[in-house]
């Protein structure tokens, strides 16, 4: 992981409204040189808007954008040196594959020999040399996507922005393209900001993930940290599988609180006053069946889903609250629904959040 | 045989019948007439026509006025088509109505209106005097400039509408993509937007040129007999001189010219569109 000592891209206090709708409410984002950062969030949370503001395709109401130490807030897009791979690729339909890749170099009046060389090199990097003279209209979705990447990278931009570049591709192709793109960007050392609403994509590709919700970044951290310690209930729900239990704090003892839930009393590390309404969650794979853990309680199995390498167990409490467990370790085979099993986990694995005011 | 059994083909039947009866047959008759002499098949009407220097003037008048009208329409219609396509919804509807409504006024009425506008005391003259461009009022009526001005106004919608429809289809992200690649606004226009509007330009040019190369009423009213074009000459041959041979010949030459220009312009556009 790369630590953001000095930030290469520095967005601070970015605000943008369309009429009465606030789309960005003071976003700060600092990305280090060579880093690959994902903006992860649900549809309509402002990812594209933030990306367009960084590219200069949209003016901010307030806030600044700095790149490589220079304030580019007022600069037009063609003088920013920020490349973009658009969601629909936006390839030039009247040009061939090679002409699309050459476009930026020609626009920057690079020497003809240099342009030719860069086009050859980047077509090779995305494995499209054989299609150089094809019209881009005659390409498959995956090929178009690679032309868009080669076109954006051929001018060697300081920063590359990608807006859901894989959303139009099928799952299998998407996975190989993710690996290819990540390797290419690492080889070139290109600083990149990648927009997605697919958590798996963000988890596998990113150095750091910024979880966005309603025009604000809720957590910005390494994938593992986000998965292990989601900063907010939203981040927890959006990244990884989990079930939430509503509860009320009954007692506080130092750094630990006792919480009353539908599954009985549970404990978590946190600082809440007795009587506070909270949400508890545990990652399904952290829960042990028939454990020798910190504490254990009995729960009735409602459903067991066999998934090959693991089994998903769904438990239901009397009030309808649920708990999901994923385990590969069932010595007596998959238990039948209705069985009572003992569950337990380490107190440190209990995630606790204030319940949203309803 | 297979095509005959396809019911979709039948849908074209009324159009085919209509065009054959009212268009292809008379055209065939015209062609036959222009190539037939007392002793059968002949090229004599054509050699005679091209042998007369007056007729070369007529061809020059025809092509020259059509070219000017097309150029004026393109110069005004191209930016107008853009403005129309990029305007807000309400503005767009207002502009479309303003462009399409005049099409429901007959050409004769419009040409008469232009007679008034182009007079010595007409608005154009008054305007130019007020601006200080002209020292004293002048008559534009019965001049070639007046003809071009009036005809361009009447044919302008046929340039604006095809350009408008292609501009509307251009994805605004293409220009944005160009910008993020480092292209200045003018470079983006020349290399992205303009090439993508060429099909609309070609349709507009083909419409306006073929209409203005064959216009009859407008030159009759705005410039008169002094300025003969192939279509006024065709009309005179049939109506006044009762010379069907000459009329057919000029009509066929006019048709050939119009087709040649339209084919050449679309060929040119395809060349322009494919390079770079
Ligand atoms: N030009 C605009 N005018 C008005 N509202 C806009 C405009 N652009 C975006 N919005 C609104 O701003 C909000 C955020 O849009 P944005 O495109 O940034 O979302 P997103 O996170 O990229 O979503 P998605 O994942 O669906 O692409 C949406 O509610 C959208 O309707
Ligand atoms: Mg988006």
Task: Give the domain CATH number at B121.
Answer: 1.10.3720.10
pLDDT band at A289 (very low <50, low <70, confident <90, very high): confident
For residue B227, tell me if it sits in a domain: yes
- Using CA atoms, how far apart are residues A24 and A17, in angstroms rounded to an integer? 7
- pLDDT tens-digit map of A155-172: 999 999 999 999 888 888
Do the Cβ atoms of B183 and A103 come within 8 Å?
yes
What's the confidence (pLDDT) of residue A294? 60
Residue in B19, B64, B66 with CA at minimum distance from that of residue B206: B66
pLDDT level of residue B268 (50, 70, 90 thresholds): confident
User: Is 60 exceeded by the pLDDT of residue B3?
Assistant: no
A353 touches chain B (CB under 8 A): no
- Whether chain B has a CB inside 8 Å of the CB on A297: the answer is no
Residue A79, CA distances (Å) to A56, A83, A163, A177 in order: 9, 11, 20, 30
Query: What tens digit of pLDDT does each residue of A74-132 get?
Result: 999 999 999 999 999 999 999 999 999 999 999 999 999 999 999 999 999 999 999 99
Taking the C-alpha atoms of residue A253 and residue B34, their distance in angstroms, rounded to an integer, is 111
Closest CA–CA distance from residue A212 to any residue of chain B (Å): 24
Whether residue B183 contacts residue B176, with contact meaning beta carbons closer than 8 Å, is answered with no
Cβ atoms of A169 and A87 within 8 Å: the answer is: no
Report whether residue A20 contacts ligand 1, using a CB cutoff of 6 Å: no
pLDDT at B59 over 90: yes
Q: What pLDDT, on the 0 to 100 scale, is given for residue A293?
A: 60
Specify the residue with its C-alpha closest to ligand 1, atom 18: A46
A108 to chain B, any CB pair closer than 8 A? The answer is yes
pLDDT tens across A178-222, in order? Answer: 999 999 999 999 999 999 988 989 999 999 999 999 999 999 999
In a domain, B270, yes or no: yes
Ligand 1 centre and the CA of B150: distance in Å?
A: 48
Lowest mean pLDDT among A244-258, A276-290, A310-324: A310-324
Domain assignment of residue B195, yes or no:
yes
Q: Hey, which of A14, A24, A43, A46 would you mutate to test ligand 1's pocket, going by the most ligand atoms within 8 Å of its Cβ?
A: A46
DSSP-assigned beta bridge partners for residue B274: none
Q: Measure the CA–CA gap between A145 and A170, rounded to whole angstroms.
A: 12
Q: Is the shortest distance between the CB of A213 and ligand 1 below 6 Å?
A: no
Bridge partners for B37 per DSSP:
B40
A101 CB contacts (<8 Å, ≥6 apart)? A118, A119, A122, A123, A147, A150, A151, A154
Select the residue of A76, A79, A86 nearest B177 (Cβ to Cβ).
A86
Does the Cβ of A18 fall within 6 Å of ligand 1? yes
Say what the pTM is: 0.84
pLDDT of amino acid B178: 98
A23 lines ligand 1 (CB under 6 A): yes
Average pLDDT, chain B: 91
Q: Hey, are the CB atoms on B180 and A103 less than 8 Å from each other?
A: no
Q: Is residue B155 part of a domain?
A: yes
B204 in contact with A, Cβ within 8 Å: no
What is the predicted pLDDT for the residue at A299? 87
pLDDT at A1: 45
Q: Does B67 touch chain A (CB under 8 A)?
A: no
pLDDT level of residue B47 (50, 70, 90 thresholds): very high
Residue B125, SS3?
A: helix
User: Which of A56, A90, A99 comes nearest B177 by C-beta?
Assistant: A90
* CA–CA dist A318, A299 (Å, integer): 10
Name the pLDDT band for A317 (thresholds 50, 70, 90): confident
Q: Is A99 on the interface with B (CB under 8 A)?
A: yes
Judged against a pLDDT cut of 90, whether residue A173 lies above it is answered with no
- Distance (Å, rounded) from C-alpha A344 to C-alpha B180? 53
Task: Tell me whether residue B42 is in a domain.
Answer: no
Q: Are A145 and A169 in contact (CB under 8 A)?
A: yes
pLDDT score, position A4: 46
What pLDDT is stored for residue B272 in this prediction? 67
Domains of chain A (ranges plus CATH)? Answer: 9-237 (3.40.50.300), 243-354 (2.40.50.140)
* Burial category of A342 from C-beta neighbours within 10 Å (exposed 0-12, middle 13-18, buried 19 and up): middle
What is the model's pLDDT at position B275? 45
Number of domains in chain B: 1
Is residue B48 included in any domain, yes or no? no
Q: What is the mean pLDDT of residues A272-293?
A: 87
Q: Which domain holds residue B87?
A: 54-275
pLDDT class of B276 with cuts at 50, 70, 90: very low
Residue of A57, A99, A108 lying closest to B182 (CB–CB): A108
* A291 contacts A344 by C-beta, under 8 angstroms: yes
Question: B33 lies in a domain?
Answer: no
State the smallest CA–CA distance between residue A81 and chain B in angstroms.
Answer: 7
Pocket test for ligand 1, best of A42, A47, A58, A195 (most atoms within 8 A of CB): A47
Considering only CB atoms, which chain B residues are within 8 Å of A115? none
Calculate the alpha carbon distances from A96 to A99, A103, A117, B189 in Å: 5, 10, 17, 18
Residue in B181, B184, B195 closest to A94 by CB: B195
Q: Please give the share of chain B, as a percent, with pLDDT higher than 70.
A: 96
Higher pLDDT, residue A32 or A309: A32
What pLDDT score does B50 carry? 94
Q: For residue B4, what pLDDT is reported?
A: 59
B179 contacts in A (CB within 8 Å)?
A: 56-57, 76-78
Neighbours of A29 (CB within 10 A): 20
DSSP class of residue B70 equals H
Query: CA separation (Å) from A138 to A101, A114, B28, B232?
Result: 16, 27, 43, 49
Query: Is A155 an interface residue toward B (CB < 8 Å)?
Result: yes
* Between residues B13 and A320, the one the model is more confident about: B13
Q: Is B26 contained in some domain?
A: no
């Amino acid at each position: 992981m790369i630590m953001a000592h000095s930030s290469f891209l520095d967005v601070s206090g970015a605000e943008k409204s369309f009429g009465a709708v606030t789309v960005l409410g003071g976003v700060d984002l600092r990305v280090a040189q060579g880093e690959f950062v994902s903006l992860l969030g649900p549809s309509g949370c402002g990812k594209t808007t933030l990306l367009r503001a960084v590219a200069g395709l949209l003016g901010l109401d307030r806030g600044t954008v700095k790149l490589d130490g220079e304030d580019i807030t007022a600069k037009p897009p063609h003088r920013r040196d920020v490349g973009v791979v658009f969601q629909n690729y936006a390839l030039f339909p009247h040009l061939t594959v090679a002409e699309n890749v050459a476009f930026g170099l020609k626009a920057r009046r690079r020497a003809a020999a240099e342009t030719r060389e860069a086009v050859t090199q980047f077509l090779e990097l995305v494995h499209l040399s054989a299609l150089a003279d094809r019209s881009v209209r005659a390409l498959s979705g995956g090929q178009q996507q690679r032309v868009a990447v080669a076109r954006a990278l051929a001018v060697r931009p300081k920063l590359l922005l990608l807006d859901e570049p894989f959303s139009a591709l099928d799952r299998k192709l998407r996975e190989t393209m993710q690996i290819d793109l990540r390797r290419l960007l690492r080889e070139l050392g290109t600083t990149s900001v990648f927009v997605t609403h697919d958590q798996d994509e963000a988890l596998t590709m990113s150095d750091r993930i910024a979880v966005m919700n309603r025009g604000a970044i809720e957590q910005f951290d390494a994938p593992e940290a986000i998965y292990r310690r989601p900063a907010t209930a939203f981040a927890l729900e959006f990244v990884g599988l989990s079930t939430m239990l509503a509860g009320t704090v009954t007692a506080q003892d130092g750094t630990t609180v006792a919480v009353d839930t539908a599954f009985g009393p549970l404990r978590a590390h946190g600082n809440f006053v007795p009587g506070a309404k909270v949400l508890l969650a545990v990652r399904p794979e952290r829960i042990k069946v028939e454990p020798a853990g910190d504490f254990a309680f009995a729960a009735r199995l409602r459903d067991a889903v066999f998934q090959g390498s693991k089994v998903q167990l769904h438990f239901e409490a009397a009030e309808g609250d649920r708990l999901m467990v994923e385990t590969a370790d069932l010595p007596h085979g998959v238990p039948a629904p209705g069985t009572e099993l003992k569950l337990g986990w380490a107190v440190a694995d209990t995630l606790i959040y204030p319940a949203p005011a309803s | 045989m297979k095509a005959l059994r396809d019911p979709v083909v039948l849908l074209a039947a009324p159009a085919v019948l209509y065009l054959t009866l009212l268009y292809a047959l008379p055209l065939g008759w015209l062609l036959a007439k222009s190539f037939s002499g007392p002793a059968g098949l002949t090229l004599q009407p054509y050699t005679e026509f091209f042998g007369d220097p007056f007729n070369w003037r007529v061809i020059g008048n025809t092509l020259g006025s059509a070219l000017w009208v097309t150029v004026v329409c393109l110069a005004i219609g191209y930016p107008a088509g853009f403005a129309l396509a990029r305007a807000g919804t309400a503005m767009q509807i207002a502009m479309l109505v303003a462009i399409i409504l005049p099409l429901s006024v007959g050409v004769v009425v419009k040409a008469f209106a232009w007679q008034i506008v182009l007079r010595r005391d007409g608005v154009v003259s008054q305007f130019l005097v007020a601006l200080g461009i002209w020292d004293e009022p002048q008559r534009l009526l019965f001049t070639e400039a007046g003809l071009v001005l009036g005809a361009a106004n009447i044919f302008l919608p046929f340039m604006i509408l095809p350009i408008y429809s292609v501009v509307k289809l251009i994805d605004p992200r293409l220009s944005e993509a160009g910008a993020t690649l480092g292209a200045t606004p003018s470079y983006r226009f020349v290399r992205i937007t303009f090439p993508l509007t060429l099909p609309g330009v070609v349709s507009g040019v083909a419409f306006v040129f073929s209409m203005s190369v064959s216009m009859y009423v407008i030159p009759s009213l705005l410039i008169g007999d002094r300025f003969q074009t192939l279509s006024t000459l065709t009309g005179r041959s049939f109506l006044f001189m009762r010379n069907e041979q000459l009329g057919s010949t000029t009509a066929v030459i006019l048709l050939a010219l119009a087709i040649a220009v339209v084919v050449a312009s679309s060929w040119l556009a395809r060349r322009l569109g494919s390079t770079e």
